[in-house]
Amino acid sequence: MSVNWRYRFAFRTDGMKSSIIRELLKLTQDPDLISFAGGLPAPELFPVKEFEEASQKVLKEHGSKALQYSPTEGYMPFRELIAERMNRDGIPVSADQILITSGSQQALDLTGEVFLDPGDTVLLERPSYLGAIQAWAAYQVRFKGAEIDHEGVRIEAVEDALMTGPKLMYILPNFQNPGGTTLTLERRERLVELSEQFGVPIIEDDPYGALRYEGESLPPIAAIDARSNGESLEHVIYLGTFSKILAPGLRLGWVAAKPEVLRYYIQAKQGQDLHTSILTQMVAYEVSRNGFLDRHIQRIREVYGERRNLMLDAMKRYFPEGVTWTAPQGGLFLWATLPDGMDTEPLFKQAIQEKVAFVPGYVFYAPEIGREPLRNSMRLNFSNARPEQIEEGIRRLGRAIEKMTR
């Protein structure tokens, strides 16, 4: 008897979707096409030589340890390095409150596994990070969105959404993906108060916090929580990653949480993959130590800051009147909004003909009953294209928008 696979799959596969961005990116393989679509770091900045030397050193000095099974929690010196960096940012944690994950994407999935039952509600920003929506949709949850404005998520919208009894709040405080906005200090403080008032924990996802190009750094929500409650990670689970400050191919991220919470993350990770590659952790530690990571981040900030300025400047020159955009203080993305009534989905097809790509904004809206995504926005990445491509790509995109407007 042949297998009817459709009747064999779990119900949760109904909620599984392949990332629209990844589908769109398949259309962007043409070498003449300039892509502002992905969230890719600049490959020319990857410290390849340092990785080559560190790999050799690790294998020569600790080869058998680097190739053996290792603890789920992660490589202790690497966890210590992360804890030290978090302490510097005002989050008092020790290394044993940190679990190394295979990118922060795994931390998002583990969050689903540890917290989310079918039918639970997740409060998230509107729009929000597509990878989180994708990971949690598989846990058969509902989403309740709170709009963002130029100061990050709107507190009144969070208050309304909290009335629906969400299990978690998912917040991107710095240079939000996709909106490019930064949550103000006052709103960070309010979120901690609301978390306390409603007893709903905050998942603080902060891949871009170190990549600031202007303005003063703001304390992470977890730092405000620690300050106001005298206890670290009382209301917050903090997610970090090396993807944007070192290299995404490493697949190295982390979760910091209080011990009784982290315990479940560790157990869930054991079931998923036992541990993150110890060889990769040891090599990344070897590269990062002795101040290299800070120097490297400084270099990334200079290059990306320049690219951001170039893109903003080119948009002023090439985008038709009526288009508005965010001027992010850091991160990898900005968010442009076309006049009401325009739709960036057909614009995407027009743009591909002009040989430039972006991501239509509607893909970043979690599905919600009775609420439609905004269709006139787009996300533009400024870290991956070279300066001359940024100028030319924005010129092409301006032309595509003009054609659509006509």
Q: Which residues bind ligand PLP (CB under 6 A)?
A: 39, 103-105, 129, 131, 172, 177, 205, 207, 241, 243, 248, 253
Which residue number has the CB closest to ligand PLP? 103
First and final C-alpha spacing in the chain: 58
With tokens 């009335």, the residue in question is: 163
Residue 23 half-sphere exposure, CB side, CA atoms within 13 Å?
8
Which amino acid makes up residue 40?
L
SS3 string, 255-313, reads EECCHHHHHHHHHHHHHHHCCCCHHHHHHHHHHHCCCHHHHHHHHHHHHHHHHHHHHHH
Nearer Cβ to ligand PLP, position 38 or 305? 38
Tell me the β-bridge partners of 46: none
Calculate the CA 376 to chain-centre distance. Answer: 22
| Residue 58 contacts residue 286 (beta carbons within 8 Å) | yes
User: If we measure between CA atoms, which residue out of 91, 97, 95, 62 comes closest to residue 81?
Assistant: 95
Least distance to ligand PLP from the beta carbon of 28, Å? Answer: 17
Show the tokens assigned to 4: 């009817």
**Which residue's CB is nearer to ligand PLP, number 243 or number 326?**
243
Task: Find, among 101, 102, 100, 83, the residue nearest to 92 by Cα.
Answer: 83
Min CB(43)–ligand PLP separation in Å: 15
Q: What is the closest distance, in whole angstroms, from the C-beta atom of residue 255 to ligand PLP in the complex?
A: 11
HSE, side-chain direction, 13 A CA sphere, residue 273: 15
Minimum distance from residue 240 beta carbon to ligand PLP (Å): 8
Measured in residues, the chain has a length of 406
Residue number with CB closer to ligand PLP (39 or 127): 39
Q: How far is the CB of 124 from ligand PLP (least distance, A)?
A: 11
Q: Judge whether 128 and 111 are in contact, CB under 8 Å.
A: no
CB of 328 to ligand PLP, least distance (A): 13
Q: In the bound complex, what is the minimum distance in angstroms from residue 406's beta carbon to ligand PLP?
A: 35
Closest approach of Cβ 171 to ligand PLP, in Å?
Answer: 10
Choice between 129 and 382, CB closer to ligand PLP: 129
The one-character DSSP state at 116 is P
Of 125 and 225, the one with the shorter C-beta distance to ligand PLP is 125
Residue whose pair of structure tokens reads 């070279």 in the numeric block: 386
Measured between alpha carbons, how far is residue 90 from residues 206, 218, 220, 223, 225 in Å? 14, 10, 8, 5, 10
Shortest distance in whole angstroms from residue 102 CB to ligand PLP: 8
- The least CB distance from residue 135 to ligand PLP, in Å, is 9
User: Which amino acid appears at position 92 of this protein?
Assistant: P
Rounded CA gap, 319 and 37, in Å? Answer: 18
